[in-house]
Chains A and B, each alone.
Chain A
Amino acid sequence: MACFHSPLAVRLRVISAVILLIGTALFSSYRLLKGTSALSQRTGTDEVTAYEARFASARQVLPQYGMVCYVPDYTSSDVAKKDFFLARYALAPLVVRNVPDCDPLIADFPGGTPASFLNGRYAVLRDLGHGVLLLKRNGR
C-alpha cells in the first residue's frame, strides 16, 4: 500500500487519469469532426426549405389566418406523418386540420396524386403544382 501512495505512484495515477479522460474526449471530438464532414459536402436544399418552396403557391391563394383542412390521412404512414408536419410548418400561421371536414382543403401528394384519390369526393379548385392541390368537398 505504501508504494501506492508514494509520490511517484500518485503522480503516475493523476497524470494517467487526466490523459485518459482528455484523450478520450479529444478522440470523441475528432470522430465528431470526421462524422460531420460528409454534411458539409451535401448539395441541394434541405427538406424543410424544399417543402416551403412546394407550398409557396398555396400560401398565396390561401387566407393568411384561419383554418385549412388537409388530406391525405397523416396517420397512414410515417412518411405521410412527416409530410403533414412539414406542410403544417410551411402553411403557418394557418391552422392545418388533419380531418377533411372543412373547406378549402389542401391535398399534399409529393409523389403525384393517386388516380383513385378524388373519386367524386372532392372537386379540384386549383392545381398548385408539385403535387399540391386546392380542393373543396363535393355536395357542399
Chain B
Amino acid sequence: MLLPSLLIAVAIGLAIAWTLRPSFHGLRRELPLLAFLSVGLGLGASSLWFFLWLVIFSPHRSAFIISEIGILAVLGVLAYARTRRSKPLLPHTISETHGRWRYLLALASVAALVAAAIAFARYSAAAPHGSWDAWGAWNLRARFLYLGGTHWTDVFSSLGTMPHRDYPLLLSASVARCWTYLKSDTPHGPIAIAFLFTFATAGVLFCSLALLRGRSQGLIAVTVLLATPFFLVLGSSQYADVPLAFFFLSTIVLLCLHEHLAPEKGALALAGAMAGLAVWTKNEGALFLLCLLASHFAITARGRGWKSYGRELLPLMAGALPALVVVALFKLHFAWHTEFVDPRGLFHRLRDFSRYRVVASAIGSGLFHFGAWPLSIPPLLFAYALLLGPQKQEGRLAAKIGLATVALTACGYFFIYVTTQMALQWLLLTSLPRLCIQLYPGALFLIFLLLRTPEEALRRTPD
C-alpha cells in the first residue's frame, strides 16, 4: 500500500495543478513540471485533509482512505472539465541549440543524479528512521497521530517533554497518513516521502529552468544542486527542511512562470498554494510568506501599478487560504506558543551588538560551507556569474520579487538568531546549514534564471 498512498497524494496534487493549470508551452513540455510540482502539492493537500480528518472524525481511520479516493474523483472531474475548455497553448519562444554541448551537460547531470540516488539509498539504509530530529520530533509526532487513536492530541501535551509542539504538521501528518494506508508504522513511509521531496525539488529546478531559459541552463543548475552533499544528507534525514525548500522554490518558480509564460491567474493561485503549504511545513514558512507579500507589494505596486497589484494579490491569497485556515486552526487550538523567541529580554538582546557580530560571522563562514562540498561551490558560482554575465530580457519583476523574498527571509533568520533566548552558538551550529539549504534551491533557480545560458554567452557579439 506504500505506492498507492503516494500515488493517490500525487494524483490529488496533479488534479489541483491541472485544474489551475497555466498554459505554458504545450503538454509535452508542461507535464513534467506539473508532475514534480504535484508531489509537494499533493502530499501537502493530503496532509491538510488528514489533519482535518483527525480533528473531525479522529478514530475512524479506515474511512479516511475512502474519503481521499472520493476527493480525488471530484478533483479528477474538475481537471477533466478544465482540459475541455483550455485555450490554445502559447507558442514556444525559447530557441535552443541541440549540439554536443547539451549532450555533455545531460551526461553530467545524469551522473550527478545517479550518485545522489545511490547516496540517498545508502544514508536511508544506514538510518532508516532518519536522523536525530526525525525520530526526536517529526516521526515521533507522526507516531502520535497514527497510533494515538482518540489520544492523538497527547502530542501537544505539556506534561511530557514533547518537542517543538508549535511546529506545523505537514511532514508528520504526511508520514502518519502514509502509515494509515500501510497499517504499520514502518520506516518505508518516511523514507519514501523524503525521497519524493528531495528529488522533486531537483525536478522542479530542472523543468522550470528548461521552460524559462532552455535545457542546458536547467541541466547545469540541477547538477550543482544534486552535487551538494548536505542537501542529500538533509533530504535523507527525514527533516522538514528539504520539503520547505521545495515549497520556497515552487512559489518563486510559479511567480516567474506567471510573468514569463502564463499571464492567467492559475499560476499565481498555485504559487499562493505553495507558499501556504510552506507555512504548514515549518514556522519559517510563515516568515517566507510575509516576506513574499511585502516584496510583492513593494515591487508590483511600484512596477505595474495598484490595479495590477490588486489583481495579482487576490489569486495569490486565494491559493494560500486553505493551508492558512488549517494552520490558524492548528495554532489557535493546539499550539499557539513559539519556543524560539521569548519576549522577555528581547530588547536587551537586540541592543547587544556582540550578538550581531557572532551571527554575521557565522553566516559569513556558513555561506561557503553549508553544502559540505569538498570544494566550496558558492565562490565558483560567483566566478561563473561574472564570466557568463546577466541576461538582458525585459519583464523581470517576478525575479525581483523572488530575490527580495529570499533576501528578506534571510534577514528574518538573522534577526531570529539575534533575538533568540536559546544558546546562540549551539543554535547556529545545529541550524544554520539547514536554514541555508531551505533557501538554496530557490536561490539557484534565481541565479540561473538571471544569468546568460552558455549558448547565449557564446552567441554574444562584442559590446
- The chain A residues found within 8 Å of chain B, CB to CB, are 2, 5-6, 10-11, 13-18, 20-22, 24-33, 35-37, 39-40, 42, 46, 48-49, 64-67, 74, 82, 84-86, 88-89, 92-93, 95-98
Please tell me the number of chain B residues within 8 Å of chain A, measured between CB atoms. 58
Residues on the A chain within 8 Å of B160, using CB: 67, 88, 95-98
Q: Which residue of B lies closest to A17 (CB)?
A: B387
**Known contacts A17-B384, A32-B227; A24/B377 CB under 8 A:** yes
Residues on the B chain within 8 Å of A10, using CB: 457-458, 460, 462
CB pair B161–A25 under 8 Å, yes or no, is: no
State which residues 254-307 of B face A: CB under 8 Å: none
The 9 A-B pairs of least Cβ separation, nearest first, read A25-B227, A95-B160, A29-B115, A48-B129, A92-B143, A5-B462, A17-B387, A65-B151, A93-B148
Q: Does B127 count as interface, using CB distance less than 8 angstroms?
A: yes
CB pair A85–B147 under 8 Å, yes or no, is: no
Q: Would you give 19 A-B contacts (Cβ < 8 Å), ordered by A? A: A10-B457, A13-B457, A16-B387, A18-B384, A21-B220, A21-B377, A22-B223, A26-B108, A29-B116, A32-B119, A32-B232, A33-B115, A35-B229, A65-B151, A88-B140, A88-B160, A88-B161, A92-B147, A95-B162
Q: Which residue of B lies closest to A88 (CB)?
A: B140
Q: Does B454 count as interface, using CB distance less than 8 angstroms?
A: yes
Q: Does B351 count as interface, using CB distance less than 8 angstroms?
A: no
Majority secondary structure of chain A interface residues (helix, strand, loop or mixed)? helix
**Stretch of B23-31, B36-44, B62-70, B131-139 contacting A (4+ beta carbons < 8 Å):** B131-139
**Known contacts A28-B229, A29-B115; A14/B458 CB under 8 A:** yes
CB pair A46–B383 under 8 Å, yes or no, is: no
Q: B458 CB to closest chain A CB, in angstroms?
A: 5
Bound Cα distance from A35 to B122, whole angstroms: 10
CB pair A28–B454 under 8 Å, yes or no, is: no
Q: B58 CB to closest chain A CB, in angstroms?
A: 13
CB pair A89–B126 under 8 Å, yes or no, is: no
Bound Cα distance from A65 to B151, whole angstroms: 7
Residues on the B chain within 8 Å of A48, using CB: 127-129, 135
Q: Does B381 count as interface, using CB distance less than 8 angstroms?
A: yes
Bound Cα distance from A121 to B126, whole angstroms: 40
Residues on the B chain within 8 Å of A67, using CB: 157, 159-160
Q: Total A-B pairs in contact (CB under 8 Å)? A: 159
CB pair B460–A36 under 8 Å, yes or no, is: no
Q: Does B125 count as interface, using CB distance less than 8 angstroms?
A: yes
Q: B165 CB to closest chain A CB, in angstroms?
A: 12
Q: A37 CB to closest chain B CB, in angstroms?
A: 8
Q: Which residue of B lies closest to A5 (CB)?
A: B462
CB pair A89–B136 under 8 Å, yes or no, is: yes
Q: Which residue of A lies closest to B112 (CB)?
A: A29
CB pair A21–B148 under 8 Å, yes or no, is: no
CB pair A95–B154 under 8 Å, yes or no, is: yes
Q: A89 CB to closest chain B CB, in angstroms?
A: 5
Q: Does B414 count as interface, using CB distance less than 8 angstroms?
A: no
Q: A108 CB to closest chain B CB, in angstroms?
A: 14
Beyond A28-B229, A36-B118, A49-B128, 18 additional pairs, beta carbon < 8 A: A10-B460, A20-B380, A20-B383, A21-B377, A21-B380, A26-B223, A28-B373, A36-B119, A36-B122, A46-B127, A48-B129, A64-B149, A67-B160, A88-B161, A92-B140, A93-B148, A95-B162, A97-B160
Residues on the B chain within 8 Å of A74, using CB: 161
Q: Does B105 count as interface, using CB distance less than 8 angstroms?
A: yes
Residue among A13, A14, A46 with max Cβ neighbours from chain B (10 Å): A14
Residues on the B chain within 8 Å of A11, using CB: 458
State which residues 357-395 of B face A: CB under 8 Å: 373-375, 377, 380-381, 383-384, 387-388
Bound Cα distance from A74 to B160, whole angstroms: 13
Residues on the A chain within 8 Å of B81, using CB: none
Bound Cα distance from A46 to B132, whole angstroms: 12
Bound Cα distance from A12 to B151, whole angstroms: 66
Q: Which of B116, B161, B223, B463 sits near A5, CB closer than 8 Å?
A: B463
Residues on the A chain within 8 Å of B132, using CB: 82, 85
Q: Which of B123, B144, B458 sits near A92, CB closer than 8 Å?
A: B144
Q: Which of B126, B135, B139 sits near A42, CB closer than 8 Å?
A: B126
**Known contacts A20-B380, A21-B384; A26/B111 CB under 8 A:** yes
CB pair B123–A39 under 8 Å, yes or no, is: yes
Residues on the B chain within 8 Å of A16, using CB: 387
CB pair A97–B111 under 8 Å, yes or no, is: no
Bound Cα distance from A33 to B119, whole angstroms: 6
Residues on the A chain within 8 Å of B228, using CB: 28
Residue among A17, A22, A85, A98 with max Cβ neighbours from chain B (10 Å): A22
Bound Cα distance from A67 to B462, whole angstroms: 74
